[in-house]
Amino acid sequence: MEISFTSSLPTMKQPKPDAEKTFQQIGLLNAVEDSYGGVKVDVEESMDCNVYVHLLRASTTQWRKQGKKGVWIKLPIQLANLVEPTVKEGFRYHHAESDYLMLVQWIPETPDTLPANASHTVGIGAFVINDTGEVLVVQEKNGAFKGKGVWKFPTGGEDICKAAIREVKEETDGFFGKSDLFFVCMLRPLSSDINKQASEIEAAQWMPIEEYIAQPYNQKHESFKNIAKICLSKSKRNYTGFSAVPMASSSGKKTSYSYFNKLQAENEKSS
């Protein structure tokens, strides 16, 4: 005869750990405070999605208790598997670069004051003129001027000073669906030799500035016409424009530039 015994004692439930102990057991994401009451998280190491979600939830709870506001999470492209779980936890896209994606979340029950992504791009036109009054012009293989036979200045983006020089060496152009602040920088060539970038540029040559201005495209489009006139005035020393004035940063480790009218720049130096 087989006899089975069933315990009549009630099952005792284990007490739930408090929040602080849970944080200690799970751990938190490494974060640094920003200057606006929020935190920044730079995820660098790969991890299982489930582990990451637990860390993110525990961290968000902790940040909320601490009264933090905006949370910025930077995910490198090699950790793209963490983008979806981050979005499911209430984060949204802020901006993306070639090697990372930035996601943000506003924690408190107050109006979200996180700044939007940059709304403008800075375009650079390189006005390179030699001693005989000729300007360096190119025809593009791609982009808005493809196949139109328009000779134009080398153009592109990035830092104003560096881009003006770089664009002469490597012609690139792009449109990002944002407002464009366009600067024309005057340069003097060190050589008359031209080495065009074959992948982007159909042709490149030196052209008399008057011939450049007289192009039908420049005469038809007001913005191009005005830029051409300003360049002609500048070449004849009838236009001042802006001068790049080097400025030391507050830390003293990096030099930046402020742009002044030439007369203003001279006044700044003398004062």
Catalytic residue positions? Answer: 170
CA-to-CA distance for 220 and 234, rounded, in angstroms? 22
Task: Give the containing element (helix H, strand E) for 262.
Answer: helix 262-270
Long-range contacts of 244-252 (CB under 8 A, 24+ apart): 244/160, 244/161
DSSP string for 175-216: --SSEEEEEEEEE--S-S-----TTTEEEEEEEEHHHHHT-H
What 3-state DSSP class applies to 30? coil
Widest CA span in the chain: 117
Q: Say if residues 51 and 94 touch (Cβ distance below 8 Å).
A: no
Burial class (CB in 10 A: 0-12, 13-18, 19+), 136: buried
